[in-house]
Structure 1
Amino acid sequence: MVQVNFIDVKDDDAIFEGSGWDALVVVATDISQTGFDEVSLLAEHGAKVDKRVGQSPTLLFAPGLAGGRLIISPVKNSDDDVEDVRIFADAARAGIRLAKDAGATRPLMLVSKSADPRYQSATEVAALACGQELWQALELREAKGDLGDFEAIGLLNSSEASESVNAIEAGRILARDLCGTEPERMSAPAFADYCIDAYRDSGLKVSVVEDRDVLERDYPLLSAVGRSSFAVSRHQPRVVKVEYVGEGEIERSFFFAGKGVVYDTGGADIKVAGGMAGMSRDKGGAAAVAGLMKTLSLLKPKGIRVVAELGLVRNSIGSEAFVTDEIITSHAGVRVRIGNTDAEGRLVLADLLSHLRIQAEKAVKPELYSVATLTGHVVRCYGGYTATVENAVAKQDGIAMSIASEAQAWGEPVEQSQLRREDFGKIIDPSGAADILSSNNAPSSVTARGHQYPAAFLLRASGLSANGCMSKMPLAYTHIDIAGSATEGDPLYGKPTAAPLVGLYKHITRA
């Protein structure tokens, strides 16, 4: 079993023995306000003999309740001004971990209601947190077989949460598998194949570009990054194209470019001193977009069209590797001088965005996005948070603000950065021989405005800079850097999060 099935439970009697559930997990800000006297009395009695009850996750012997197990996982500091709905996620993860360790296979979860508007999606966020907690790496599942511990998780007093939670979690599982799997098992061709399998019978339109001549003609910057990988068949680049078209009249259109660098050696500007460790996670942007498309295919929102291009490439080292100082013409016809081969992600995205730009110019109310684990600078600035950088058209439409609002409510907070004129100054080629410079030759983490100015490059290299507010065809474009949020815990091998899948889904399906 890869995915836990979440089930809406409306019957209050489900908390009792014989209901088919084998543990009751209570996620609450106040254990006395759950609405169940049996729970409150047991908790009150338990607190008299164990002071941890109500202060930290605890398991109580509970005759008469589901499975004879009552797990109380308190939500702490809910009145604190700086807290957000992630406190429910934290409590849910701790509670479900305890249920798993106790041997439960069908736990029932009760998430306390709150009048605080910050916590209106607490039940769904808690459920998704359980999915995050229980996910196990694809390599481990394939090596040891079915590792599923839970048959199902019940969501008590929930009438409509399970459908969206199950669909979102299915997308997040796909995203985690794609992002977190090692570079041979999830090479560019394997990534493409995994997507094709995941989308089978989904209704999505899927195609893969793999011919070298086509890639070099239509994706010249991407092909430069993968030039040295063409010599090894299992490492050759791919571009996966995916399209979702909802029922009814299309009212809005969304275009996503996903960075899928399946392994980043740094190329000729090689990563040294252990800097390559964890670089199989440099495909988190493409992974998140792939997962988003899976969720869309399951929930089938009406009136929207979503198009994605995933650029899958290995930044290999070898005699064919591209090098700094080369001048390469992008798909949009912009001559790019390579400033550092380790700034490869923006090259991949630029060609994808150029193709999407052409489609967006003919679309209904289009919005364009790039999603990427792009810079160390964003981690220095914001730690584990996603950052957005938008052009003037998107800013005028309030797109980053909308994403941030939706993502905050669903436990994926986003920081908003501002694109400045200095960012365009950083991509000027001092020699004048090329139209623009891809990057400087220092790590982004020590470069001023290191995560903002790549958006300026992407606008110019993709041709989107011609689609500003004063143009005949304004196009809203938002760059999303997830270098800090794509994984949790250990920065090299921590569990993938699938961010910003949930926030993006809620944004594009908002009323």
Structure 2
Amino acid sequence: MIQINTSSDLNEKVYDAIVVVSDGINSLSKVDKFSADLRNAVEAYSKIDHSLDKGKVSLIQADKFHAKRIVYASTGTVHKDFDDVRRYTKAGIAAGETALSAGVRSPLLVAVPSERFPNASLMAALGFLHTLYTPLNLAVPDKPIRKVDLLGIFEVEANEKSNGGPSASLLQALQQSFNVARDIGDGDPERMCPAKVAEYVKKTFENSSVRVSIIDDVDQIRRDYPLLSAVSRCANAIEEHKARLIWLEYDGGEETETLFLVGKGVTLDTGGVDLKVNGAMLGMSRDKYGSAVVAGFFRALDELKPKGIKVVGCMCMCRNSIGSHAYTCDEIITSRSGKRVHIYNTDAEGRMAMADPLAEAKEKAMKAKNPHLFTIATLTGHLVLTYGHCSAAMDNGPAKAANYAEQLRKMGDQFGQPVEVSRLFSEDFDFHSAKCEAADLMQANALPSVRTPRGHMGPAAFLMRVSRIDEAGLDSAQPLKYTHLDIGISMGEYPNTSFPSPLLALIAQHVLPKVK
């Protein structure tokens, strides 16, 4: 883990470069703590490079500082109608890449605050930290690879229009949370197969405030989670590929709300018998990113220790393999809730993996204080076609009455992780009614989601019906809030290092307000 310190001295001798992220030279003059020498050095360079403030990174000689060099990263425009705080994240990433290529080992990051975007400094710092992540397969036990020796954060005081600079403790917590999500989500299908994910999570939360329990018994999974068992059936021939359910629990005491997070954890999605072809399988090791977000969220809980919240999570780890014992279309499988599910498409395995754990979470939620259930999944290509880089949130009736998805959308905007709100209609639920007497529900149609109207809304309706959450609506004796998050490629495209999303939006919504 990279050491992060705060500093109030631009000339502190431990730093070998000053890294500035700013929306323009004029902004440097708005902060009294920035020395005239810093402004003068940048302004002098701008006279020989008129593109300095047009969204590029410049390496500037600065003899009046001990560091001798300034890495100046321009955000480009931040004043247009559709500019957002991600300009600062991208500039932070660009600054980090340039600093590393220049051989910087101890950078001092100066993130100039923005009146329009209160979290600009935090997002610039997270962008810079993004470049310092080392992929799991390059890490050597007991010999950590550190791309820098120390990261300094220049202290900028908050005011009524800006949050100022982020604290070192918050950045450390978020860095660890993000790294857990990246290790699991970006990990290849063997290094992060179900067994290895279970080992990793167990080790991560040893001697922590998070309790971990792992279910790996094939017979128990077949009995208690029959839909997940069907997906895993082919993979059971290989011990490391067998399904694992990883249950996590954090209790902040005197809880005012209880969250249940169920994450899709498909370590490789071949499509099963409905095989992905013509290169469509590439990158499907990221089909476990819903579970990666769940694990990262619990790492943030453990680091930040919010009060008044209880969180129960389930990482549904499995592999959708193809072989002689693979589950197939035309099967009718009775789920944990008693609903009979008619299989149409083995490539719709994500909803199968989460359905039974969601039903169990619903059972627990009936006894919990102010519960809210979630599914988090890289579920459909339709979501990507619809919203591109954004996640989508879909509320049931009680969650919609609480305006949850809209709140998460606003939080996502503030923290650079866009979340669109998709609505559910009765047609989405009717779509999944079985077409034969032998079954209650149709798992999916036989087409890819990208060729299915409302292809990312229907799965949310299916999950509600198969778990019987639809029976806990506003008209029931005990309404339950439920939100489905389809996160698509919001974390970035394979094989680039991921930027965990909507992890930060969820942390900002549920954790940061409860941290003292």
**TM-score after normalising by structure 2:** 0.94
The equivalences for 1:274-423 within 5 A come to: 274-423=279-428
Q: State the shift of 1:425 in Å.
A: 1.9
Query: For the Cα contact (< 8 Å) 1:26–1:111, is it kept in 2?
Result: yes
Aligned partner of residue 6 in structure 2, secondary structure: strand
Aligned to 2:202: 196
Q: State the shift of 1:145 in Å.
A: 6.0
Aligned to 2:444: 439
User: For 1:231-281, what per-residue CA distance to the aligned partner results, in whole angstroms no more than 9, with x for missing partners?
Assistant: 11111110000000013x111110000000011111111111222111111
Aligned to 2:498: 496
Query: For the Cα contact (< 8 Å) 1:23–1:65, is it kept in 2?
Result: no
Q: State the shift of 1:90 in Å.
A: 1.2
User: Is 2:38 the partner of 1:39?
Assistant: yes
Aligned to 1:239: 245
Count residues with an aligned counterpart: 499
User: Is 2:23 the partner of 1:15?
Assistant: no
Give the Cα separation in 2 of the matches to 1:123 and 1:53: 20
Q: State the shift of 1:32 in Å.
A: 3.1
Give the Cα separation in 2 of the matches to 1:442 and 1:271: 12
Aligned to 2:160: none
Query: For the Cα contact (< 8 Å) 1:27–1:72, is it kept in 2?
Result: yes
Give the Cα separation in 1 of the matches to 2:305 and 2:394: 28
Give the Cα separation in 2 of the matches to 1:33 and 1:271: 51
- The residue type equivalent to 1:464 in the other structure is I
Structure 1 unaligned regions, length at least 5: none
User: Is 2:119 the partner of 1:124?
Assistant: no
Give the Cα separation in 2 of the matches to 1:268 and 1:442: 14
Give the Cα separation in 1 of the matches to 2:115 and 2:458: 41
Query: For the Cα contact (< 8 Å) 1:52–1:58, is it kept in 2?
Result: no
Aligned partner of residue 484 in structure 1, secondary structure: coil
Aligned partner of residue 90 in structure 2, secondary structure: helix
- The residue type equivalent to 1:8 in the other structure is T
Aligned to 2:63: 63
Give the Cα separation in 2 of the matches to 1:378 and 1:448: 11
- The residue type equivalent to 2:19 in the other structure is V
Give the Cα separation in 2 of the matches to 1:32 and 1:70: 17
User: Is 2:147 the partner of 1:149?
Assistant: yes
Give the Cα separation in 2 of the matches to 1:446 and 1:166: 43
Query: For the Cα contact (< 8 Å) 1:4–1:131, is it kept in 2?
Result: no
Query: For the Cα contact (< 8 Å) 2:53–2:76, is it kept in 1?
Result: no
Change beyond 3 A, Cα 1:256–1:421: same
Aligned to 1:480: 485
User: For 1:88-132, what per-residue CA distance to the aligned partner results, in whole angstroms no more than 9, with x for missing partners?
Assistant: 11111111221111111111111112222xx11111111111122
Q: State the shift of 1:492 in Å.
A: 3.6
Give the Cα separation in 2 of the matches to 1:193 and 1:306: 21
Give the Cα separation in 1 of the matches to 2:108 and 2:346: 51
The farther-off stretch of 375-384 and 159-168 is 159-168
User: For 1:139-166, what per-residue CA distance to the aligned partner results, in whole angstroms no more than 9, with x for missing partners?
Assistant: 1334996432212221112575221221
Change beyond 3 A, Cα 1:66–1:201: farther
User: Is 2:97 the partner of 1:97?
Assistant: yes
Q: State the shift of 1:54 in Å.
A: 3.0
Query: For the Cα contact (< 8 Å) 1:179–1:281, is it kept in 2?
Result: yes
The farther-off stretch of 267-276 and 340-349 is 267-276
User: For 1:291-316, what per-residue CA distance to the aligned partner results, in whole angstroms no more than 9, with x for missing partners?
Assistant: 11011001000000000011100111
Give the Cα separation in 2 of the matches to 1:88 and 1:426: 42
Query: For the Cα contact (< 8 Å) 1:29–1:76, is it kept in 2?
Result: yes
Q: State the shift of 1:327 in Å.
A: 0.7
Which residue of 196, 210, 219 corresponds with 1:213? 219
